Structure 1
Amino acid sequence: MDGQARRNKIIDIVKKSEKPVSGTFLAEQLNVSRQVVVTDIALIRANGVNIMSTNRGYIINSDGGRCRRIIKSRHTDEQILDELFTIVDNGGCAENTIINHRYYNRVEAPLNVSSRRDAKVFMEAIESGKSKTLSSATSGYHYHVISAEDEATLDVIEDELKAKGYWLPLDDWISKEMPV
């Protein structure tokens, strides 16, 4: 099986699965190493397929054509809930959190916060003391991919975040490294 056929098979397996599919499982099914699967996943993403890595495996996010935008933000831990409420109250979803760590480079974690309830559940987990936010490793600086039904909604969210002082201009590297 050539590389393109293998990548098509990965897409097919992940799409048909009702649960996240581990890289190890994919490697076994395709008789390749896990590193080959990781490389294939990167190439699949580069070709525009919204395949996401979770702590349980790979999923394909079928988003129904939502618009996406990367934002840069900075705030204190006490302001996290306000930032998330600002996004969801204006019709958006905070899909993830990304930091640019000096040692680890880009670190990304899914959020999928699309309601006040989701935001509160996230904050309860953080406030339990068992975990810290990624942005705590970068003095509050972080990025989100936010999604909404249309660009106008994303504009409203961005304007609200600017008004609250959370929004920052994007760094040049971000648009090259992380196309939305």
Structure 2
Amino acid sequence: MDAAQRRQEILEFLKQNNQPVSASKIASRFGVSRQIIVGDIALLRASNAAISATPRGYILDDNDDITNRCTHTIACKHSRDNLAEELYTIVDNGCGLIDVIVEHAVYGQISGRLHIFSRYDADNFMKKLAKDQASPLCDLTGGVHLHTISYPSEEAYRRVLSQLKEKEILFIK
């Protein structure tokens, strides 16, 4: 199989998966190295394929399990010590974190795809931060950041806002 054919098959493989798929898993599926897959994904994205990179792997945007849910952007502020509490509050109420967005003084808006819908996802995200000794994006802005959250009902959304406000995580000036 040549590289162009492999890239088309990677797109088909991602279409069949509703959850993020790691580069290592894709590499194993196609019998190539992880780095080849990273390059293939970069080329696919450069040709306008709607592939997002999440902490757990790649996903096609149109496969995202948020498509039948409402979304809203909220502003939050907290220290690194409250990161897990923020994530748990959102997912424990049936909502999901789609992304994180910060406004950087030099680069402008920076966003990262999260795709966190459960405590399992939140724990994996926290473990990855620790393992890679990485800083969350909100460290760049003194803790202030935005999240696009998905929610199944207005009731769930209101519950999240109320609890984040009570925990002094919801950013209200």
Normalised by the length of structure 1, the TM-score is 0.65
Partners of 2:42 and 2:151 lie apart in 1 by 30
Correspondence for 2:134: 131
* Cα drift, residue 165 of structure 1: 0.7
Correspondence for 1:82: 85
- Structure 1: which amino acid aligns with 2:131? S
Correspondence for 1:110: 113
- State yes or no: 1:17 paired with 2:12: yes
Correspondence for 2:170: 167
- Structure 2: which amino acid aligns with 1:54? A
Correspondence for 2:53: 54
Identity across the alignment (%): 25
- State yes or no: 1:119 paired with 2:122: yes
- Would you say how many aligned residue pairs link Structure 1 and Structure 2? 137
Partners of 1:67 and 1:85 lie apart in 2 by 19
Superposition RMSD in Å: 2.7
SS of the counterpart of 1:70?
A: strand
- Alignment equivalent of 2:104, drawn from 101, 104, 109: 101
Q: Unaligned stretches of 5+ in structure 2?
A: 1-7, 16-39
User: Is the 1:23–1:57 contact (alpha carbons within 8 Å) kept by the matching residues of 2?
Assistant: no
- Counterparts in 2 of 1:57 and 1:82: CA distance versus 1, 3 Å: closer
Partners of 1:118 and 1:25 lie apart in 2 by 26
Partners of 1:125 and 1:23 lie apart in 2 by 22
- Counterparts in 2 of 1:161 and 1:54: CA distance versus 1, 3 Å: same
Q: Unaligned stretches of 5+ in structure 1?
A: 1-12, 27-33, 42-50, 171-180
